């Protein structure tokens, strides 16, 4: 291991194989106390956090930030792979081999003799090939394959999208909106029953996702935008209250609502 460390220290630049070697050094007997005790489950959330940081870099349109965050995400992939390698299950080359084969198999219009006329044909072929290779025999199988630990809105949109491929879907966004109105009405009828209200509110949220999907919008992104809008509007309200020499906790609900409507009407 000392020889490996010496070689790594003498290098001027590194590649993916060096990253694997560095992780192995960190996991070795004389490596890092923290890295040595990590498991798939202990660093599970780190993988998700790094993914979100990559998404933030994309949203910021920053190549420098993206380069750094993609490196952190790649480290997570390598770390999980090394954990499996230590058990003799698979190596990074096996992971690479699998994804390369998958891409070739799922693009017969590029690596084979299948003809396509556009994106719709490509997606239909992709879904068909995916079902075959994963042994999915029914539409229900495709829905069950959507990870349960997806963010709820993302999973709802995925489920709706896959269900739609069976033909079970709304005719258009107006019909989806009518369904949403119906679910809201059902919720109003059971507000005095917390358990029933919880079930109906779940249906309302799912219906909201369906409306977004029918409009070609991403529900997860829409809620994120709404969160940011709420944050900015709340900040505007608080700043206005302070500027007036008031304290928010000492104002009535009606007074605070007046500030809120003022912030809303100002476009903030």
- How far from chain centre, in Å, is Cα 193? 33
**Is the domain of 226 the same as that of 253?**
yes
CA nearest neighbour of 26 among 86, 93, 88, 87: 86
Do 159 and 172 form a contact (C-beta atoms < 8 A)?
A: no
CA distance 148 to 156: 10
CA nearest neighbour of 107 among 98, 116, 117: 116
- Which segments of 215-268 does DSSP mark as H helices, in order? 219-243, 253-265
CA nearest neighbour of 157 among 200, 217, 225, 223: 217
The pLDDT tens digits for 161-206 are 999 999 999 999 999 999 999 999 999 999 999 999 999 999 999 9
pLDDT at 130: 86
Q: Which two tokens stand for residue 173?
A: 């966004």
**Is the domain of 242 the same as that of 180?**
no
**Is the domain of 216 the same as that of 227?**
no
Half-sphere exposure of 151 (CA within 13 A, CB side): 13
CA distance 223 to 138: 32
**Is the domain of 212 the same as that of 253?**
no
**Is the domain of 195 the same as that of 259?**
no
**pTM score, whole prediction:** 0.71
**Is the domain of 226 the same as that of 194?**
no
The pLDDT tens digits for 54-78 are 999 999 999 999 999 999 999 999 9
In a domain, 39, yes or no: yes
CA nearest neighbour of 23 among 85, 70, 68: 85
**Is the domain of 75 the same as that of 53?**
yes
Domain that holds residue 47: 2-90
Number of domains in the chain: 3
**Is the domain of 233 the same as that of 183?**
no
Unique residue bearing structure tokens 């790094």: 50
In a domain, 69, yes or no: yes
pLDDT at 268: 63
pLDDT at 134: 87
Low-confidence ranges of the chain (pLDDT < 70): 268
Do 21 and 4 form a contact (C-beta atoms < 8 A)?
A: yes
Question: At 7, which CATH number?
Answer: 1.10.287.1080
Q: Tally Cβ neighbours within 10 Å of residue 230.
A: 10
Helix H, strand E, coil C: the string for 157-196 is HHHHHHHHCCCCCCCCHHHHHHHHHHHHHHHHHCCCCHHH
Q: Tally Cβ neighbours within 10 Å of residue 168.
A: 9
In a domain, 84, yes or no: yes
């Amino acid at each position: 291991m000392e020889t490996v460390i010496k070689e790594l220290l003498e290098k001027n630049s590194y590649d993916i194989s060096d990253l694997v070697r560095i992780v192995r050094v960190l996991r070795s007997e004389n490596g890092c106390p923290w890295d040595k005790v990590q498991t798939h489950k202990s660093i599970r959330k780190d993988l998700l956090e790094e993914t979100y940081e990559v998404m933030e870099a994309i949203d910021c349109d920053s190549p420098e930030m993206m380069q750094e965050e993609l490196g952190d995400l790649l480290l997570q992939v390598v770390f999980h792979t090394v954990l499996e390698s230590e058990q003799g299950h698979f190596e990074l080359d096996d992971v690479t081999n699998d994804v390369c084969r998958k891409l070739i198999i799922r693009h017969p219009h590029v690596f084979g003799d299948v003809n396509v006329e556009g994106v719709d044909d490509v997606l239909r072929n992709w879904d068909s090939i995916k079902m075959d290779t994963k042994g999915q025999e029914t539409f229900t199988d495709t829905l069950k394959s959507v990870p349960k630990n997806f963010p709820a809105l993302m999973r709802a949109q995925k489920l709706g999208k896959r269900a739609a491929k069976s033909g079970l879907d709304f005719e258009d966004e107006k019909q989806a909106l009518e369904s949403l109105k119906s679910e809201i009405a059902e919720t109003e009828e059971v507000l005095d029953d917390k358990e029933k209200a919880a079930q109906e509110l779940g249906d309302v949220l799912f219906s909201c996702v369906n409306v977004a999907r029918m409009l070609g919008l991403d529900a997860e992104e829409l809620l994120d935008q709404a969160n940011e809008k709420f944050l900015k509007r709340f900040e505007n309200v608080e700043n206005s209250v302070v500027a007036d020499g008031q304290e928010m906790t000492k104002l009535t609900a009606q007074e605070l609502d007046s500030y809120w409507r003022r912030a809303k009407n100002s476009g903030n």
